């Protein structure tokens, strides 16, 4: 008669392996779900793809994002290089040199948008523009600036007068004064 011995340690070991394997599968499932939630899939295709196909789709999506990122980095470098050399892209898509300081004034109804582009040498000009607008009775709604390399982009949103009939005249008068101010500032330095 044969005796069978149940080794308690071997059954415990099998149970531990099963638990470990179950935990590993659950962790892989959770990680897969996280990855799948980050990848943009076409909803109709997603339901019919096998797991390996979905993982391949995720890998292709990541590669596409890397290519897009590199393309955007290159575009940013090109634009930054253009800005640092005091150039802009014209409406026709060509690069144009801007004499600094440069001012653009856009008038729509009673709204007046002033864009002032200067170098650090002309940083005082922003204050002169604000002072001139106040002298002309223009209400400043918002003013901000952005620095890119050695170039400073100032943006001022304002409102000219309350009366619609005189706002066109007032805006033209303010525009003329601002253009003169920027022209004088550039020649004074």
- DSSP annotation of 136 reads T
Q: What is the per-residue pLDDT for 24?
A: 93
Q: Report the chain's C-alpha Rg in angstroms.
A: 33
Q: Cis (ω within 30 of 0) for the bond into 80?
A: no
CATH domain 95-188 topology: Alpha-Beta Plaits (3.30.70)
Domain chopping of the chain, boundaries: 8-81, 95-188
* pLDDT at residue 47, rounded to an integer: 62
SS3 content of the chain, % helix, strand, coil (to 5): 60, 20, 20
Task: For the chain, list residues with pLDDT below 50.
Answer: 83-85, 163-165, 186-189
Predicted confidence at residue 50, as pLDDT, reads 80
């Amino acid at each position: 008669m044969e005796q069978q011995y149940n080794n308690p340690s071997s059954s415990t070991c099998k149970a531990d392996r099963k638990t470990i394997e179950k935990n590993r599968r659950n962790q892989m499932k959770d990680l897969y779900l996280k990855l799948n939630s980050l990848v943009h899939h076409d909803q109709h295709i997603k339901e019919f793809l096998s797991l390996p196909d979905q993982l391949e789709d995720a890998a292709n999506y990541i590669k596409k994002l890397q290519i897009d990122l590199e393309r955007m980095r290159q575009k940013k470098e090109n634009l930054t290089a253009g800005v640092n050399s005091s150039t802009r892209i014209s409406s026709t898509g060509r690069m144009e040199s801007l004499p600094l300081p440069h001012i653009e004034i856009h008038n729509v109804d009673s709204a007046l948008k002033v864009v002032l582009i200067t170098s650090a040498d002309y940083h005082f000009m922003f204050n002169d523009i604000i002072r001139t607008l106040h002298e002309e009775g223009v209400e400043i709604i918002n003013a901000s600036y952005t620095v890119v390399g050695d170039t400073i982009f100032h943006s001022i949103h304002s409102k000219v007068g309350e009366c619609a009939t005189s706002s066109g005249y007032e805006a033209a008068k303010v525009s003329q004064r601002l253009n003169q101010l920027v022209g004088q500032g550039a020649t004074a330095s």
